[in-house]
Amino acid sequence: MASPFFANSDVSQTELRQMATRFTNKKLDPGEDLSTIGEEMEPSLYYTTSDSKDPRLELSFDNSEPIVLTPLEPFGFGKHTMTIYYLQQANPDAADRYRKKFKLSNLDTMEQIQTQFDNIIQRNFVLSQYNIKNGGPEPIYLRKLVLKDILDIIYDPSVLGKNYERAAFDDNISYETLEKKCLLGQGSFGQVWLCRDTAHDAPYALKIQYKRELIQQNQASGVVRESQVMRKMHHPFVLGLVRAQQCDRCLYMVMNLVQGGELSQQMRNEDRKVLSEPSAKFYAACILEGLSYMHRRNFIYRDLKGENVLLDKNGYCVIVDLGFAKHVPDKTFTFCGTPIYIVSFSPLIRAKRIVYSDSISVFCLLNVSLCSIGTRDSLEQGT
């Protein structure tokens, strides 16, 4: 799985391990073609195994001199189309350079690119961009992973061939150029402002934190860790980071604006004391999807509550405030979170060694949403 295609994709190590179990074997006899230019091929990834004796797998464009692929060197069908599809939207000049570098055909216009991309996703075929054949005297043994199996694991094809971190972290947006519109919130360490990017007329949230207060309260390392975690979050249900900057006095974090308010406001208000069951299921599904994304990348959240979940303009949940989030490849024994949501499990954790996790936080949040639970006594009684 050393393919550069996956290196530039938002795919976790857990998902890569699952993909490794889906490979199948294919034998290519001497002189046999694997593909010809323009042939309809199943979108897939290949590599030559070490079982092949003196393999000579030749790749060529039209009548050009063939390139001999080395053993374990990945190649496939559909990678170039998906890569150029995202490049064309983000940077047409980069897409043109990529097209010329790999001598791609039938991918000159956005219409052609869209057609080929739809063929891959909806019809499960792609037109081969090159000829591949066994040019040696011995059979070549290949390992094959089809895109259909990849999507069964990752679900979302947009994470393939797209460098999310490079795309999401925008150097063109700066706290110096953002126009402050109104104050959204203020805390012990700083402020959060609603801002406007004048160049693109786009709204952002700007979090300003004062270095002096952070250092005096021993919170500097936590803010740095939060920034590092947010840089790695690229999911619609988890708030990521657009840009982080600093000056002599302050730290600045530019984030996408989530403007639907807190989930806690929907959980209980003047009109109702609890959520309806369908609404609770919907919000729980959004939260579980966001937490699952973090867990697949070995991050735990550890501070789930209604105040830390915002609703976007379409009503979907977005998990925010990643100050307690932590990268945990194995185990962690830190006890943290908001007491009202974890207090009932404290005796169980201490006495019975039950592992506290984000899943218990979801359970507690659902109890609060559906049963109007919110005090220590009611939580411990389970009513």
List active site positions. Answer: 303
Where do we find the tokens 């994470």?
A: 159
Tell me which residue has tokens 């009932």. Answer: 344
d(Cα 13, Cα 138) in Å, to the nearest integer? 35
Dihedral angle sign, alpha carbons of residues 7, 11, 14, 20: negative
Q: Are the CB atoms for 19 and 144 separated by under 8 Å?
A: no
The secondary structure of residue 356, as a DSSP letter, is: P
Give CA–CA dist 128/75, Å, rounded.
12
| CA quadruple 318, 319, 323, 329: dihedral, nearest 10 | -120
Nearest to 205 by CA among 219, 214, 215, 195: 195
Task: Assess contact for 206 and 252: CB atoms under 8 A.
Answer: yes
As a whole number of angstroms, the longest Cα–Cα distance in the chain is 80
Q: What is residue 381's three-state secondary structure?
A: helix
State in Å, rounded, how far the first CA of the chain is from the last one. 50
CB 52 within 8 A of CB 150: no
Q: Which residues pair with 238 in a beta bridge?
A: 235, 319
φ and ψ of 59, to 5 deg: -120, 130
- What 3-state class would DSSP assign to 202? strand
| 243: enclosing H helix or E strand | strand 243-246
Instruction: Measure the CA–CA gap between 169 and 43, rounded to whole angstroms.
Output: 30
Triad 334, 323, 222: Cα angle to 5°: 80
